[in-house]
């Protein structure tokens, strides 16, 4: 099932012209891409296991357990979003938000995590959500299978670091992701961790090209992590997003946007299309 590193190299995304394979330096990328697939496979495995427990709680009507499992289950999706989003139908079914639908919460195709989040927090119920629970469970299983069959396009993997910071900049900073539960900080941290994972895997190549750039990335990741750490709870979770002080929200924006800018150059720096 696991593709050989060279197969990874020669199968590219539909958009990119297959030019980089000839570049000798790109052979350096085979190992980190292979390692990244292992990471994603591990995360999606946890997503499947924990989604089962979460949706079982919903189906049993155990609101307290469902609420407890909701944010910690989602983090496994948020961390691998650039890969998960390659399957746009599944992404919409699993992770679309109320504002993605003209009819809002009443839309028939508003399903997945946020649909159940609406039930748990806005309505304080699991009644009538059994179907959504089954649907979500099936969808993450399908996602796991599709990811297993996927040849990871190198430019999507490296570009994923930027894509994750774009997620943070677009939907996490404003607190619009988890609008009913306000558990945004879990997603926030998870997007950042996912981006940092990619940077860490390619760290030797980045340092070789531009040491100062690598240091700047690390510094901004550390700033974001330090601010987020202020809101960690004893149980390892996070405070709700409304608890985040205005000054801290502002202090997050600078490093987040700078990371988005800097990481947008990563593919080019590594010679990828």
272 contact partners, CB below 8 Å, separation of at least 6: 20, 26, 29, 154, 155, 158, 159
Site size for another protein (CB under 8 A): 29
Q: Is 16 a binder of another protein (CB under 8 A)? A: yes
x/- mask, another protein, residues 197-236, rule CB under 8 A, reads: ----------------------------------------
Q: Is 104 a binder of another protein (CB under 8 A)? A: yes
Q: Which one, 55 or 189, has the nearer CB to another protein?
A: 189
Q: Which of 47, 34, 111, 38 is nearest to 74 (CA)?
A: 47
Q: Which pairs with CB-CB distance under 8 Å and at least 24 residues apart come from 252-259?
A: 252/173, 252/224, 252/227, 252/228, 253/173, 255/220, 255/221, 255/223, 255/224, 256/165, 256/168, 256/169, 256/173, 256/224, 257/169, 258/220, 259/165, 259/195, 259/217, 259/220, 259/221, 259/224
Q: Which one, 100 or 134, has the nearer CB to another protein?
A: 100
Q: What single-letter DSSP state applies at residue 232?
A: B
Range in contact with another protein (rule: CB under 8 A) among 45-53, 56-64, 161-169, 188-196 = 161-169
Range in contact with another protein (rule: CB under 8 A) among 12-20, 144-152, 214-222, 229-237 = 12-20
Rounded CA separation 247/85 (Å): 32
Q: Which two tokens stand for residue 13?
A: 């995304």
Q: Is 176 a binder of another protein (CB under 8 A)? A: yes
Q: Is 260 a binder of another protein (CB under 8 A)? A: yes
Q: Which one, 102 or 233, has the nearer CB to another protein?
A: 102
| Candidate residues 113, 115, 267, 270; the one interacting with another protein per rule CB under 8 A | 267
| Candidate residues 90, 143, 162, 270; the one interacting with another protein per rule CB under 8 A | 162
Q: Is 173 a binder of another protein (CB under 8 A)? A: yes
- The full DSSP string for 2-17 is PPPHHHHHH---TTS-
Residue 32 and residue 202 in contact, taking contact as beta carbons nearer than 8 Å: yes
Q: Which one, 30 or 92, has the nearer CB to another protein?
A: 92
Q: What single-letter DSSP state applies at residue 112?
A: S
Q: Is 52 a binder of another protein (CB under 8 A)? A: no
Rounded CA separation 136/130 (Å): 10
Q: Is 166 a binder of another protein (CB under 8 A)? A: yes
Q: Which one, 20 or 238, has the nearer CB to another protein?
A: 20
Site of interaction with another protein (CB under 8 A) = 14-17, 88-89, 92, 99-104, 162, 166, 169-171, 173-174, 176, 253, 257, 260-261, 264, 267-268, 273
């Amino acid at each position: 099932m696991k593709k050989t590193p060279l197969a990874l190299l020669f199968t590219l995304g539909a958009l990119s012209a297959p030019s980089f394979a000839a570049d000798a330096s790109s052979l350096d990328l085979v190992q980190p891409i292979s390692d990244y697939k292992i990471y994603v496979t591990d995360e999606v495995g946890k997503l499947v296991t924990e989604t089962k427990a979460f949706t079982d709680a919903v189906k049993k009507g155990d609101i307290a357990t469902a609420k407890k499992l909701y944010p910690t289950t989602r983090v496994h999706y948020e961390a691998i979003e650039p890969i998960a989003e390659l399957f746009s139908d599944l992404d919409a079914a699993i992770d679309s938000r109320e504002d993605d639908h003209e009819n809002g919460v009443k839309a028939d195709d508003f399903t997945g995590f946020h649909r159940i989040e609406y039930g748990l927090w806005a309505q304080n119920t699991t009644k009538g959500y059994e179907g959504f629970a089954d649907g979500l469970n099936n969808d993450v299983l399908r996602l796991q299978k599709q990811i297993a069959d996927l040849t990871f396009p190198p430019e999507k993997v490296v570009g994923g670091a930027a894509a994750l910071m774009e997620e943070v900049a677009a939907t996490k900073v404003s607190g619009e992701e988890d609008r009913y539960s306000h558990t945004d900080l879990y997603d926030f941290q998870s997007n950042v961790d996912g981006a940092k994972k990619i940077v860490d895997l390619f760290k030797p190549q980045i340092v070789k090209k531009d040491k100062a750039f690598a240091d700047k990335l690390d510094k901004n990741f550390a700033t974001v992590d330090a601010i987020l750490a202020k809101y960690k709870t004893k149980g390892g979770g996070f405070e709700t997003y409304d608890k985040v002080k205005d000054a801290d929200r502002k202090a997050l924006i600078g490093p987040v946007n700078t990371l988005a800018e800097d990481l947008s150059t990563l593919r080019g720096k590594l010679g990828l299309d």
